[in-house]
Amino acid sequence: MNYFRTALLLAGLTALFMGVGFLIGGQTGALIALVIAAGMNLFTYWNSDKAVLSMTGAQEIDERTAPDVFRMVAELSQRAGLPMPRVYLMDNPQPNAFATGRNPENAAVAVTTGLLQHLSREEVAGVIAHELAHIKNHDTLIMTITATFAGAISMLAQFGMFFGGNRDNNNGGMGIIGTLAMVILAPLAAMLVQMAISRTREYSADELGAQIVGKPEWLAAALQRLESAAHQIPNDMAERNPATAHMFIVNPLSGQRMDNLFSTHPATENRVAALQELARRMGQSGGFQGGARPAQAQPTPSRGPWGGGGRRSGPWG
């Protein structure tokens, strides 16, 4: 069902993009709009992961520099049936994470230092499994293409402000009122579609991530901790680059909780409820009662279980 909804949303976004181009320049405008979008998508297809990782200041790690977290990603990737992604660490106090890459063979998982400091191993495992689910579902590519279309629609709408309003209404062109409506409504519609796609994919990644790690309550507890921390710990990097906000497991920018079209993420309580229902279906209803536990800082990555020490088999088996 999520795939069907995503396909419908992408189809609607494409139609909107072509419609804006047609209103500005007729059939020629629609064709130009399509060519521009194709060029932008081609660029983002090959370079989106590099751009996002650079914007977030992420640094690649390996088994030598951060053995435990690297091995955790490796073990969960194997459980998910995925190639080993590259692993990155962001020097950021807010606990959060995201995945990027055009396909599973060219994917990366990035976590913040705050995630490793404030969450338990089980909760970190739930978060990483969620990000691996995005990779398995090809969500990172979907979101990149959607963001590109939304940006292109906004750009075309701005062109309409300069060119559409000068047409002669008697010759079938848009008047100034029509142009203003397009400039306002087209980017808004594109934004709504972009956000809606992000939200549908989060529910799907939560369910698949919980199945990968085997314990839905671990991810549910992590989501509640992350939501609470996002209200208390600023994410300066995300504030400087708000276009990356929809990629994180929880919204790093604000404390929006309303599950509506204007939110890049579903409400955390709705995600937790869905995970609780999944736990019941898996016969694990007794393991999680809800409610975020008080955050207790874990040792820093350089000295704690994430930075060195002996090999661990992982908490899932």
Neighbours of 42 (CB within 10 A): 11
Give me the residue label for tokens 């983002």. 44
Amino acid, res. 61: I
- Please give the structure tokens belonging to residue 246: 């929809």
For residues 137 and 117, is the Cβ–Cβ distance under 8 A?
A: no
| Cα 312 from Cα 40, distance rounded (Å) | 44
For residues 193 and 146, is the Cβ–Cβ distance under 8 A?
A: yes
**Looking at residue 110, what DSSP letter applies?**
E
Residue 219 CB partners (closer than 8 Å, separation 6+):
123, 126, 127, 129, 130, 206, 209, 210, 213, 275
* Element (DSSP H or E) covering residue 88: strand 86-90
| Cα 189 from Cα 213, distance rounded (Å) | 36
Give the Å distances, CA to CA, from 214 to 79, 87, 122: 10, 22, 11
Alpha-carbon dihedral sign for residues 71, 74, 78, 79: positive
| Integer Rg of the chain from CA | 21
| Cα 277 from Cα 270, distance rounded (Å) | 11
CA 75 to chain centre: 22
Residues annotated as catalytic are: 131
Residue 139 CB partners (closer than 8 Å, separation 6+):
99, 201, 204, 205
Can you count the helices (H) and strands (E) in the chain?
9, 4
**Looking at residue 248, what DSSP letter applies?**
B
